[in-house]
Structure 1
């Protein structure tokens, strides 16, 4: 699904969920690298004279390279604007542990497992976007811990539904000469093949 289309579906779902609880809120979408840009969303917020703001980054797990980067952009914009700098703001730093998210991931995985001739023999392969190792070891990025906790919660939900598949987590998208989070997706795939794994369900779980 295209990223913007998915963002609009999320926005519509959030609006409906809030309305079901008797809450009314405007929903704005701002993106870093494509339309509608964050700056456009902020201009609309100012035009609408919003008095309170909740910031929800669409990254389930927090990383200084994703959620952190987006929040820094907002902080810079807000600090330079008299109206925005006085606006009460709540920030949802991460939401990977929310019951709805965990159950949704388990639903998707469960549906795909049933497409295999022998669902119980399928290896569930979680592949997440990596970050440089120094982010975690030197800068205190919680991304690795949150990712591992996220996978644990998803697998616990699957076990509660009667699925006891083996699983593994690996990281992809590394660039440059520095070391990134391991194990690397491409290397783990080779290892699984060498171990004789015949059925694999790939689950992109971040970014």
Structure 2
């Protein structure tokens, strides 16, 4: 059986220029899974307000992020693809595609069709399922598969937030540091609008949900619940007491997003005398603007300005050998695909 694996990541502008960033933001923010508002309101808000006001500042951030190899998210995902291909040689051919921008998932799927695979595994690189990440990646890929008339049997890994191999990989990243030398640990996740989370469990709000304490019955596809479950699993492996760590959410666009906010949490920790803090971001398997700049630079500067001494950002999994081994195992397990 000829098997193809398509790794799907969120994407990045083609260059740190205003035209390229505008193209990327236009594609990204007009996705109804990202901004889940009525069509007309979404078009007005995104194209006449958000993009015109954000594009120059976003370009400055990408200029700061860019390296000689380009966007970290792109080249790190490519490194992962190449190492995974070497690991799974003879078992599967590994492709990569971005949900937005280039290299496109559409181009990858066209090549997969051309080569006539019997089986295709879609692997959105997002540990916790959310409509703005995993769901949009799968929906878009399945739509393109239908359009192309691709006949391969399609399997998919929809999330792996609690998979032992994933958890073990993040534990190994954290263990590169002596956690005893830090006053507190933060598990920071990408934020979401409260309304998107509440769509997963009608009748239960983020204020009435108890997922901070345990994974509730409705929690399998509740982003907030799975973030807390990942944190509990990591804390257990790292031998952290509940008072040793905090779960928080970053990258908010309004006050009606998941709380507590990571930047506000850091300020409270400084006020409480916690001056050495280490941060893991277990919703990101690839380092990108949100981990490198938002936490590593912006939050770090604010933390020190308020009296903090050290804010250590733990590298994401990227193309670490232990993550390559873990992902190969996840892909190979049929129970992880549907």
Question: What is the TM-score of this pair, normalised by structure 2?
Answer: 0.54
> What's the TM-score once normalised by structure 1's chain length?
0.85
Q: Which of 148, 166, 169 lines up with 2:228 in the alignment?
A: 148
Return the offset for 1:39: 0.9
Q: 1:90 Cα shift?
A: 0.5
1:185 aligned residue: 262
The size of the alignment, in residue pairs, is: 194
Preserved CA contact (<8 Å) 1:113 1:122:
no
The residue matched to 1:181 in structure 2 has which SS? coil
1:129 and 2:190 matched: yes
8 Å Cα contact 1:113-1:201 kept in structure 2: no
The CA deviation at 1:12 is: 3.3
Matched, 1:196 2:237: no
Structure 1 Cα separation of the partners of residues 128 and 83 of structure 2: 20
Which 5+ residue runs of structure 2 have no aligned equivalent? 1-70, 202-220, 285-338
Map 1:70-85 → 2, pairs under 5 A: 70-82=137-149, 84=150
Find the counterpart in structure 2 of residue 171 from structure 1. Answer: 249
Aligned partners of 2:109 and 2:145 also within 8 Å = no
The Cα of 1:123 is off from its aligned counterpart by 0.6
Other structure's SS at 1:29 match: strand
Find the aligned partners of 2:110 and 2:146 in 1 and give their Cα distance. 15
CA contact (8 A) 1:62 1:93 kept: yes
- The answer to whether the 8 Å contact 2:200/2:222 transfers is no
1:158 and 2:238 aligned = yes
1:146-181 deviation line (CA, Å, top 9, x unaligned) = 11111111111111xxx65801111011114x6111
Q: Give the whole-Å Cα distance in 1 for the aligned partners of 2:183 and 2:263.
A: 18
Q: Distance in 1 between matches of 2:161 and 2:142?
A: 23
Question: Which of 11, 32, 37 is residue 81 of structure 2 equivalent to?
Answer: 11
Matches within 5 A, 1:34-53: 34-53=101-120
User: Cα RMSD (Å) of the superposition?
Assistant: 2.0
SS in 1 for 2:177: helix
Q: How many angstroms apart in 2 are the aligned matches of 1:95 and 1:17?
A: 20
Deviation sequence 1:68-87 (CA, Å, 0-9, x none) = 011111122122232x2x32
CA-CA distance at 1:14 after TM superposition:
3.1
CA contact (8 A) 1:170 1:182 kept: yes
Could you tell which deviates more after superposition, 9-18 or 164-173? 9-18
